[in-house]
Amino acid sequence: MRALQAFALAALLAWVSPAAAEGFTPGQRQEIIGILRDALKQDPSILREALEALEAADAQDRQGTARAAIAAHAEALFRDPADPVKGNPQGAVTIVEFFDARCGYCKQLQPAIDQLLRRQPDVRLVLKDLPILGPNSLLASRALLAAQRQGKYAELHDALMKLREDPAEPVLKREAERLGLDWARLRRDMDDPAVARRLQENTRLAGALRIEGTPALVIGDTLVPGAVDLATLERLVAEAREKRGG
């Protein structure tokens, strides 16, 4: 009986793949459908197993595509000297974070990132502003990159990640002045075309990696969509460190 179920599982996997399905004759398709119906009546769990196998194969395929994209864009991802950096600037392991200053999941991730940087002194965090949540996201990203020119990117980033109100201009002014930034200079720099170009470059890079939301992390050759916990971050950093031979 289990052999029949295994055959039905293989048939289902082939059937749901358009490329594979084209190889069957109409008669073979009908025979497969009949086998599947009988197998599912006898053991409905076979459908769950088939879907889990498909999900695993799809995840593996996505990671393979992501690894190729990361390798193709490694220079822009890991070695752009203009990017803001937290943690150890000379760290052996680099994490790249695409984030939006208004993103709730980015704020949720931040404590785990902060703990990781405290616990792992050889980790370098590269921050890529990706304002995708509307006009105030764009305003906040422009303020952050302008603050970088006054040596206060990290401080303003920390403030915005803790913020529980929308980073409209009056809020940005308040936070900037609280941190000792020159607001008049900051506001001028926010409108510098070079700042807009950097955000465009980040957007293009995110598109090349097929990043669809924030946060998104690149750790070694792995793309991590969404917020993860500290244990997952430490595991991925350890894997990246091992691949580097350190």
Q: What is the pLDDT of residues 177-231, one digit of tens each?
A: 999 999 999 999 999 999 999 999 999 999 999 999 999 999 999 999 999 999 9
Residue 95 has φ and ψ, to the nearest 5°, of -110, 130
Quote the CA–CA distance of 86 and 50 in Å, as a whole number.
43
Quote the CA–CA distance of 36 and 220 in Å, as a whole number.
42
How is the beta sheet containing 93-99 ordered, strand by strand?
85-87, 123-129, 93-99, 216-219, 222-225
| For residues 227-244, average pLDDT | 94
Least confident of 169-173, 213-217, 239-243: 239-243
pLDDT in tens, 17-62: 555 556 678 887 788 777 777 777 777 776 666 666 656 555 555 6
Residue type, 127: L
At residue 142, the pLDDT reads 98
Burial class (CB within 10 angstroms; exposed 0-12, middle 13-18, buried 19+) of 137: buried
Quote the CA–CA distance of 102 and 140 in Å, as a whole number.
8
Band of pLDDT at residue 156, cut at 50, 70 and 90: very high
CA distances from 150 to 44, 186, 239 (A): 63, 8, 36
Quote the CA–CA distance of 67 and 185 in Å, as a whole number.
40
Quote the CA–CA distance of 188 and 246 in Å, as a whole number.
44
pLDDT in tens, 109-126: 999 999 999 999 999 999
Band of pLDDT at residue 159, cut at 50, 70 and 90: very high
Domains and CATH numbers, the chain: 2-72 (no CATH), 74-243 (3.40.30.10)
| For residues 122-142, average pLDDT | 97
At residue 28, the pLDDT reads 78
Higher pLDDT residue, 94 or 29?
Answer: 94
At residue 54, the pLDDT reads 56
CA distances from 67 to 74, 145, 187, 197, 244 (A): 10, 28, 38, 26, 15
3-class DSSP assignment, residue 215: coil
175 neighbors 160 (Cβ within 8 angstroms)? yes
Quote the CA–CA distance of 177 and 152 in Å, as a whole number.
11
Residue type, 161: M
Quote the CA–CA distance of 79 and 216 in Å, as a whole number.
18
Q: Structure pTM?
A: 0.76
- What tokens appear for 223 in the block? 């793309």
114 neighbors 153 (Cβ within 8 angstroms)? no
55 neighbors 191 (Cβ within 8 angstroms)? no
| For residues 76-80, average pLDDT | 95
221 neighbors 243 (Cβ within 8 angstroms)? yes
- Is residue 4's pLDDT more than 80? no
